[in-house]
Structure 1
Amino acid sequence: MKRTPLWNDLVLEYKLPWRYKKTIDYSIKSINTKIYELNQFFSKKTKPKNTDKKVSIIIPTLSKGNQADHFFKLKKLLIKYLPNQTYHNYEAIVLCDGSNPKVENMVKSLKDRRIRLFISEKTLGFWGHPLTRKGIELAKGDYFVRMNDDNIPYKNYLAELVEGFREDIGVVYGRVVYKETALKAHGNNFIGKKSRGIPNNMCTFTIPRDKSGKILRTNIDCMCYLVKINLAKKYVDSWDNSFAADWFFIEKLLNEGVKYKFIDKLIGVKR
């Protein structure tokens, strides 16, 4: 950082009479004060909105079955990425579908008060949807997002979505990249045809897969969007036990006139 010249530096450099000391000293002090005031002004102007709002991240996980170990590895990676968020005001509720000592021990070992654990008394199934409803019930935040074990949020994930909210906006969503297993499972939505009338004019494996980011079935995923928690609690029953419950939940909000905003940025990966 460049040092601000002292008054005597200027006197010597420009061979000024020493009586100019007070004038120069005052001028430098005045300039530095103005620079400080400008920095304060612009820092206030550019300060992100909604930074006092807490996000509740709900993460259901399998406890039994052939894929339980696979999803445990994915969950460890997801939990590892959460502290890297540039937005720190969140809570993560990890909900186990029945007894799951591996996940329980992992969460306890983190010693992070922001991460809570819930274990259902029995295996409920249905793609974790009963646990999602329970997570919404337990949530203490201002916004809610459902994540799966195969999700990796970018560092700016929460910050980008939270920044999009205004008083009249109930849902904010962005773009997510599909890779690996997720891409194989949903590849037909992206390649060579219009699925449900949505063209893949992005020429890439992202969802939403169209340039305008239409909020339609198969064009958003639960990781894509953040919802105000009061709306999530009010319409929690619309998150039913069907495979596409995350879409039916959003559809209910839209039918009730809830306004939404699309953030045309990549915010994470679904694997």
Structure 2
Amino acid sequence: MLVNPLVTVIVPNYNHARFLNQRLDSIFNQTYNNFEVILLDDLSQDNSIEVLDSYKDSRIIHRIYNKKNNGSPFKQWKKGLKLAKGDLVWIAESDDWADVTFLEKMIPIFSENENVAVAYSDMYYVDEHGIEIVDTFEEYTQQSHPTLWKNNHYYKGIDYVKDFMLNKCLIVNASSVVFKKDLGKKHIDRILNYKKAGDWLFWNILLSEEDVYVYFRGNEKLNYFRYSVQSTRSYPTIENKENGLIERTNVIFSTLNMLGLEQEKLQIKKREMLDWWAKDHSVIESLRIGFKSILDTAMFQETNVYSLYRHYIKYRIKNIPLIKTLRKNNYVQPNSLKN
């Protein structure tokens, strides 16, 4: 039973100097006081170090400023987890911020149910300037279940993954999450090669542990999830778009393997991923080497180029009106909530 546990707050930063004051102030002003802070910087090219160094709070136990860029936020997560002394971890991403009662309201969940491994809260979805934009999270979750995310709830971890986390990551923002450190340290190495979708696989792995639960606090929004042009959640280039889809494919395949691979389920997921690729690439883009890189993923090892293009042509002929509508409304590229 965790009573007044120490929380390690890990702040991984890269080029978010203009957001850091708001981020750090929302941490150091938390109404729950039993926490430590680890500040990480991945060789930022702005004045991030100057901002980070301006904070002298005694709860900062480590400042780690890389001399070489890691290229993955999850390698930064590992550094923080390795140094963490707390029983619980909050990865407070540097471009987001939190309500000052975030920890006060989230930490008791772990005392009320000792089997909870991951707890997360509802959130505001905001733009670069902190102005609330359309509640994409509500629309995103309602597609999976019309009412579940409107209320606080516990859910058996393995069932949560099976029921909801195979198609998309419903724990869309690490800043809204508190999780048990020991489980995080146990599994962090499995996501170090990811750049974008590693958090999705991370939550799936943690929740697939035996007898663990996830908790969602849906009765109030305690986190502010920022979508910005600098965000690691953006897909500004064709290469990033393709890498994002490759990672999405790998997460789904890894999760299916973890749950016990069912060939019927695998075939359904293969078709779904091929639909994503066909929808997300123009005819010209489909001729790029990057388009065929899907064949290098574990899920598609037995697929050949002919099969890939045959599916692409069939999908696009069948869905020309849909694709035109999606492109017109900027829905074709994976948005910030689709890892």
Same fold (TM over 0.5): yes
Match of 1:262 in 2: 216
Determine the C-alpha separation between the residues in 1 that align with 2:182 and 2:141.
33
Q: What is the correspondence of 1:79-228 to structure 2 with a 5 Å cutoff?
A: 79-98=24-43, 102-115=47-60, 116-126=62-72, 128-165=73-110, 166-181=113-128, 189=136, 197-198=143-144, 201=146, 210-211=149-150, 216=165, 217-220=168-171, 221-228=173-180
- SS of the counterpart of 1:164? helix
| C-alpha displacement of 1:81 | 1.8
Are 2:193 and 1:241 aligned?
yes
Asked whether the equivalents of residues 38 and 80 of structure 2 are also in contact (C-alpha less than 8 Å), the reply is yes
Q: Counterparts of 2:28 and 2:137 in 1: how far apart (Å)?
A: 32
Q: 1:85 Cα shift?
A: 0.7
Residue 250, structure 1, aligned to residue 193, structure 2: no
CA distance in 2, matches of 1:50, 1:182: 37
Residues 38-53 of structure 1 aligned to structure 2 (within 5 Å): 50=2, 52-53=4-5
- Report the CA distance between 1:231 and its aligned residue: 1.0
TM-score between both structures, scaled by the size of structure 1: 0.66
Residue aligning to 2:333: none
Instruction: Decide which moves more: 213-222 or 223-232.
Output: 213-222
Q: Is the Cα contact below 8 Å between 1:152 and 1:269 reproduced in 2?
A: yes
Aligned-partner Cα distance in 1 for 2:84–2:142:
33
Task: Could you tell me which runs of 5 or more consecutive residues in structure 1 were left unpaired when the two chains were aligned.
Answer: 1-48, 63-67, 203-208
Matched letter for residue 214 of structure 2:
Y
Q: Which has the larger radius of gyration?
A: 1
Give the corresponding residue for 1:20: none
The 3-state SS of whatever aligns with 1:235 is helix
Residue aligned with 1:144, SS: strand
By relative contact order (CA 8 Å, sep 6+), the higher-ranking structure is 1
What's the % identity of the aligned pairs? 26
- Quote how far apart the aligned CAs of 1:182 are: 10
Describe the shift of the 1:254–1:182 C-alpha distance in structure 2 as closer, same or farther (beyond 3 A).
farther
Given the superposition, is the C-alpha separation of residues 174 and 111 from structure 1 closer, same or farther in structure 2, using an over 3 Å criterion?
Answer: same
Q: What is the CA distance between 1:229 and its match in structure 2?
A: 0.8
Q: How many residues align?
A: 206
